[in-house]
């Protein structure tokens, strides 16, 4: 296969996350893992100079490439427009996050790492559903996608993605397999969307996860005694009780969850993300330092304090106890646990937005 990168003097644009995979063996392994059928339409995001694209064209019925960089558009056009694959090659110029996507069966890509999270959720929101995605990510992000309860990387992202899909780690890829080499190691994962997806209100689901994973190492009893959490939930409770809002309308689509998550992503700059990660690590450290104090407070509350407790807080505690959740920690809870907690709260008129 012709490798255009090795002979090119092109300066790659790091703002677009351009790290071109040049290892032929790894490229072939990625294509093999995708199990492409001759009738498949394959979507590739950020094809760069087309090293992976050429292998995809050899197997698929059609390959649709979404590329934002005008220089890469020129390279791809030169390479494939007048080649033997011209009738199978389709190019969309623009930002993947805002582009209207046509139907596809598979997605195979070495994705721009800075848009990893919104990219995954945009794919999961795509309808009709696709069969499988084989994607290269920064290794830590990939590990967060597949993390299970009890793992230090288990987070809101893990729970949300695993609620909507099955995710498997396929292989690690060293940074020296790219040009220019990234600063971090990479991994390839396979994502298979669930069909049908669980029939729940995903806005409430994510609202619950947001509260729980903000202090994922604390016990739920400590998380739900937080004043701001109680204030928000009590406000929701009173509004719904007075106005009779139907928050569990099954017509609420998963796309609303995707939109919420994508709006949170700062994809144009890294500064806010770095500050957030630093803050999260500081919060986690504080959680670990204060866990024993919280647990002692929860297990040995004075009788007087319990009797004078805020009625709404008492209601929350009763729900936690009746569902055997009082001493559970989000970092060790699976999606079935979160669903049980959500159903228990909803049954008593407590909702998350």
- Can you say which residues are annotated as belonging to the binding site for S-adenosyl-L-methionine? 19, 21, 46, 67, 95, 110
Contact assessment for residue 134 and residue 40, using Cβ atoms and an 8 Å cutoff: no
Q: Per DSSP, which regions of 73-213 are E strands? A: 89-93, 106-110, 132-138, 165-173, 178-179, 186-193
Contact assessment for residue 72 and residue 47, using Cβ atoms and an 8 Å cutoff: yes
Contact assessment for residue 335 and residue 162, using Cβ atoms and an 8 Å cutoff: yes
The residue whose two tokens read 């999961």 is 124
DSSP 109: E
Rounded distance between C-alpha atoms, residue 351 and residue 343, angstroms? 10
DSSP 144: H
Rounded distance between C-alpha atoms, residue 49 and residue 3, angstroms? 9
The residue whose two tokens read 């002979």 is 7
Annotation: binding site:
19, 21, 46, 67, 95, 110
- Phi, psi angle pair for 156, to nearest 5°: -60, -40
DSSP 68: -
Helix (H) or strand (E) holding 256: helix 254-264
Task: Report DSSP letters for 180-225, one per residue.
Answer: SPPSS-EEEEEEEE-SSPP-S-HHHHHHHHHHHHHTTTS-HHHHTT
Closest listed residue to residue 135, CA positions, set 33, 240, 278, 230: 33
Rounded distance between C-alpha atoms, residue 152 and residue 144, angstroms? 9
The vertex-146 CA angle with 271 and 43, nearest 5°, equals: 80
């Amino acid at each position: 296969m012709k490798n255009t990168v090795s002979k090119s003097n092109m300066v790659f644009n790091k703002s677009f996350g351009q790290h071109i995979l040049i290892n032929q063996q790894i490229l072939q392994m990625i294509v093999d893992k995708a199990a492409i059928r001759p009738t498949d339409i394959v979507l590739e995001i950020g094809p760069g100079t087309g090293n992976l694209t050429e292998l995809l064209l050899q197997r698929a019925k059609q390959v649709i490439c979404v590329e934002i960089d005008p220089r890469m558009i020129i390279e791809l056009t030169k390479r494939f427009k007048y080649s033997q694959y011209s009738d199978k090659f389709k190019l969309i110029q623009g930002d993947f996050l805002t582009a209207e996507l046509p139907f596809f069966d598979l997605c195979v890509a070495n994705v721009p790492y800075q848009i990893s999270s919104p990219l995954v959720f945009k794919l999961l929101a795509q309808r009709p559903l696709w069969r499988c995605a084989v994607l290269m990510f920064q290794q830590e992000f990939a590990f967060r996608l597949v993390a299970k309860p009890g793992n230090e990387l288990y987070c809101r992202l893990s729970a949300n993605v695993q609620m909507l899909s099955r995710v498997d780690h396929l292989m690690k890829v060293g940074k020296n397999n790219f040009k220019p080499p990234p600063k971090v190691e990479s991994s390839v994962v396979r994502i298979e969307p669930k069909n049908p997806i669980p029939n729940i209100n995903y806005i409430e689901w994510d609202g619950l996860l947001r509260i729980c994973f903000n202090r994922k190492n604390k016990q739920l009893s400590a998380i739900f005694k937080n004043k701001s959490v109680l204030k928000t939930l009590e406000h929701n409770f009173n509004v719904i009780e007075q106005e009779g809002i139907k928050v569990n309308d099954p017509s609420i689509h998963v796309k609303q969850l995707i939109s919420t998550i994508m709006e949170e992503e700062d994809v144009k700059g890294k500064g806010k993300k770095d500050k957030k990660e630093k803050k999260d690590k500081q919060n986690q450290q504080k959680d670990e330092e204060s866990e024993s104090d919280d647990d002692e407070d929860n297990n040995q509350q004075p009788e007087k304090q319990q009797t004078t407790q805020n009625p709404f807080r008492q209601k929350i505690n009763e729900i936690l106890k009746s569902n055997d959740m009082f001493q559970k920690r989000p970092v060790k809870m699976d999606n079935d646990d979160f669903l049980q907690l959500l159903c228990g709260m909803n049954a008593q008129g407590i909702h998350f937005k």
